[in-house]
Amino acid sequence: MKIAFIGDIVGKPGRLMLKKHLKRLQQEHFIDFTIANYENASHGFGLTEKNCMELLGYGVDMMTGGNHSFDKKEILDLFDTYPLIRPMNYPQATPGKGIYQTILLDKQVAILNLMGHYTMPLADNPFTMIVSVVASLKAQGIKHIIIDMHAEASSEKQALLHMLKEDVSAILGTHTHVATDDLYVTEEGCCYVTDVGLTGCRDGVIGMDSEVPVKRFLTGLSGHFDVSDVCKTLLQMVVFELDDEGRCLSAEKIKIYDDKPKIVSQAWMD
C-alpha cells in the first residue's frame, strides 16, 4: 500500500495548494490513503468545520493535530463526525482521540498522533505512553502503524525513532513548518523524517506574514500572526510504500512550488 503524508497545512494558501494538486498527485503516485495535519489549516490556528469539509473534499482521508488542535473551539463537536484525531498524550479528559484505525487493502492500519514536551502544552509523557500503546496494537495483530510526532525538538523525534523503529511503519515529524533533509528508511523498515514541512506560504516566517515576527524579534513586542492571502506557495508531501508486514519498502518527498512542475527526491535506504 502507498500512503501520503502532508505536514502542517497553513491557512488558505495551504488549502488551495491541495485543491490544485492533490488529486492529480494521488493518481500519478498510486496513493491509496492520504493523511494531513490540520492544526494550522484555518487562518493558521486550528480547524473550522468548513475548512475540515473542504480538505476532505480535496482528497484528504484523515487528519492529525497538535498543540493548535483546540484553537477553534468548534472542533470539540467535530471529533465524533469527521476523521480527526489529536495528540493522544493530552490529558485523558480532553475531547477527541489520539488513534485512528481503518482497513486498507485488507490490512488493519493504525494512525497515531503524539505531541512532544519541549515548548508544548500540558501533556502526558509521550515516550512512556507510546511504548504501551504500540505494544497493545501489535498484540491485536496490527502491523501497519504510522505516527505523526508533533514536536519542536528534533531530538525528541529522533529519540522516538530509535525507540520504535523495529515496531512501527513510519514516524513523520510535524510542527516546526521547516522541512528537514533527512527522509530515510531504516534497515528495520521504518520510514522517518524529522519534519515534513509546511504546505502554504513559503515567503514569510513559518507560513505567516513576516511583519509581526520580525517586529517581535526587533522589539520583543508580540502581535497577532496572520497568513497572507497573496504569497509564494509550497506543497510538501511524503509518500511511502508498505509491505504486507507493515515494513516500509521505499519513500519519496514531493515538493511543488506554486504551479511549477513537481520535484521528487528519493529517501535514503539503510
Residue 222: its pLDDT value, please? 85
Residue 104: its pLDDT value, please? 97
Residue 7: its pLDDT value, please? 96
Residue range 92-148, pLDDT digits in tens: 999 999 999 999 999 999 999 999 999 999 899 999 999 999 999 999 999 999 999
Q: How is domain 2-204+232-269 classified at the CATH fold level?
A: Purple Acid Phosphatase; chain A, domain 2 (3.60.21)
Residues involved in catalysis: 68
Q: Is the pLDDT of residue 155 over 90?
A: yes
Tell me the three state secondary structure of residue 270.
Answer: coil
Residue 262: its pLDDT value, please? 98
Q: Rounded distance, CA 149 to CA 157, Å?
A: 7
Residue 229: its pLDDT value, please? 85
169-187: average pLDDT: 98
Residue range 17-69, pLDDT digits in tens: 999 999 999 999 999 999 999 999 999 999 999 999 999 999 999 999 999 99
Q: Please write down the HEC assignment for all residues of 111-170.
A: EEEEECCCCCCCCCCHHHHHHHHHHHHHHCCCCEEEEEEECCCHHHHHHHHHHHCCCCCE
Residue range 182-237, pLDDT digits in tens: 999 999 999 999 999 999 999 999 999 999 999 999 999 988 889 998 899 999 99
In the block, cell 514541512 appears at 197
Paired strand residues for 146: 111, 170
Q: Which residues contact 139 (CB under 8 A, 6 or more apart)?
A: none
Please tell me the pTM assigned to this model.
0.97
* Alpha carbon of residue 231 to chain centroid: 22
**Cell numbers standing for residue 247:** 515494513
Q: Is the pLDDT of residue 179 over 90?
A: yes
